[in-house]
A and B are shown apart, each in its own frame.
Chain A
Amino acid sequence: MIEVKNLTKRYAGVTAINDLSFEVGKGEIVGFLGPNGAGKSTTMRILSSFMPATAGTASVAGYDVFKQSLKARRHLGYLPENVPLYTDMRVDEYLHYRGSLKGIHGRKLRDRIVDVKELCNLTDVERKIIGTLSKGYRQRVGLAEAMIHEPDLLILDEPTIGLDPNQIRQVRDLIKNLGKRHTILLSTHILPEVEMTCTRVLIINKGRIEASDSPANLLAKLRSASEVTIEAQTGADNGGDQLSAIAGVKEVTLQPGEDDWKKFILRVDASSEIREEVFRMAVNRKWNLRELSRSRATLEDVFVEMTQAD
């Protein structure tokens, strides 16, 4: 659905994206991640034919976004970052206007307006002027507008920014549902959202692709895939020495605790399970144990590891 080859964009000397190549297949929901200024919005703007690239090619639904821009745009619904809307129009009026711009008319358009209003929970504000709506409603008006012509591809730039937790959940469910019929490329900073909705993650940093894989695979690959937290009174023992001797433990860090409680954070291989062994050791050495827990790395850890400047 999307094909990007060696895409580069320079603004007045600054390279926003550098030699970017990736593909998005039909039916995928791809999360586009990266720190602010990494080039996410620029890439999305090029894909939606809003600005031309400096070098390289990109195509949407088989049409080059620059040479066959009108055809490419017909297959695309795009929600820009700040959700620009005509604040002087009513919701219904706006959806009608945008629908006919995108080439649907008459009864079909009326049906679609009813559908998208229902999908995005806009029916109760259909007669309101957009300028008077709250951020959350505006966001959903933008989303409704982006999908009004049932595009093959939806490009959503931070679709959940400015929404409250309930609305975020609604939009997330909406995106999941849309994913059954549409291909979706979305950017966001809310990482749990990506883990829940996306089939694939693209991480971009300083204009380059750092990773492209399913959320599960990315987590498995991560160095700090798993952590075990232990809080114990180790008595005469130092604790750290004994724990690092356990097979599979890569690193032990000691955090100061209250009284003589010590808190150890163990980095372990994602595959190995060491909690039982820690427990036996504690019994044998007469340690008092009050916490023994394991936490999985989250996408956030992956993100931080891949994009932090080192």
Chain B
Amino acid sequence: MRVFLTLLGREVRSYFYSPIAYVVLVFVLLLTGFNFSAGVSLLNRGPSEVTVLEAFFNTVLFWFGYVLIFPLITMRTFSEEFKMGTIETLMTAPVGDISVVLSKFFGAFIFYVILWIPSILYFVIFEWITSAQAARASGAYFGSYLLLLVMGAFYISVGCLASSLTRNQMIAAVISFASITLLFFTGLLSFIILNVSPVVRDLIGYFSAIEHMGEFSRGLIDSRPLVYYLSMTVLMLFITLQVFQARKWRS
């Protein structure tokens, strides 16, 4: 456990040693800030069915930026160690493979959580200034941020897997970007192909990040997406561990 915490500390700190962290932070701040103000001004034009929170989490801009975050924060996790050769000092210290994989994952996850903290302030400030509700109920906040966490965990685990496959950060970024976008667009199929049977549509709905967010930001917390994202995260991390261990044998 102590080894894991040491590794985790180094992972989280290493984000702030590199300029990538600050670039991503600024990028996410700009994106969420613009997205938030666009949502508010849209609602300014007339009465609307959606709340500020729902508008914030369900725009094209939000999703466009969202899928871009993951390649940026996960591409270096394993690739950099392979490229710099530090994997050799790392793996000849008394540390287990599982600790290494988990520390990489949770390191990226903690950074991801830090990225979203400022956005909570938007809603606090909004409610403070306008003394109006930004969401239907406090459960809607809870729901949207909970989904943000589990969905993020899944996409980060995909990114970690991509990074464990190669020593080249660019290739890792491309693999994770392609797979995450592909996963994301699977959920969009029901919007594109309209004449499918309701069964297929329901099935696709289970994978649709947009539908999940639509429900959760209304405060409708469904256990099925939570189970789906968390179990997929575990699966991805398990595959990452296998890939990471297999590397030894190939070299």
Contact = CB atoms under 8 A, between A and B. Distances in A.
Interface of A: 11, 45, 48-52, 70-71, 73-74, 76, 78, 80, 82, 84-89, 97-98, 100-103, 105, 145
B94 interface: yes
Contacts of A100: 2, 6
Given A101-B3, A101-B7, A48 B14 contact: no
Nearest to B17: A88
* The 5 residue pairs across chains A and B that have the minimum distance between CB atoms: A84-B85, A88-B17, A48-B92, A73-B94, A84-B86
Contact of B251 (A11, A49, A71, A87): A11
B77 to A, nearest CB: 14
Contact of B93 (A71, A102, A105): A102
Nearest to B18: A88
Contact of A73 (B10, B14, B84, B93): B93
B11 to A, nearest CB: 11
Contacts, number: 65
22 contacts: A11-B251, A48-B92, A49-B91, A49-B92, A73-B93, A80-B89, A80-B92, A82-B85, A84-B85, A84-B86, A84-B88, A85-B86, A86-B10, A88-B18, A97-B9, A98-B89, A100-B2, A100-B6, A101-B7, A101-B93, A101-B95, A103-B3
B96 A70 contact: yes
A86 B94 contact: no
A247 B95 CA distance: 64
A88 B85 contact: no
B249 interface: yes
A40 B122 CA distance: 60
Contacts of A103: 2-3, 94
Given A84-B89, A88-B17, A100-B6, A74 B94 contact: yes
A85 B14 CA distance: 13
A94 to B, nearest CB: 9
Nearest to B95: A101
B92 A101 contact: no
Contacts of A73: 92-94
Nearest to B86: A84
Given A51-B248, A82-B85, A87-B84, A70 B94 contact: yes
Contacts of B248: 50-52
A145 B89 contact: yes
A235 B87 CA distance: 69
Interface string B93-108: 1111000000000000
A86 B14 contact: yes
A279 to B, nearest CB: 58
B89 A97 contact: no
Nearest to A69: B94
Nearest to B10: A97
Interface string B236-251: 0000000000001101
A82 B87 CA distance: 12
Contacts of B95: 101
Nearest to B3: A101
A101 B95 CA distance: 7
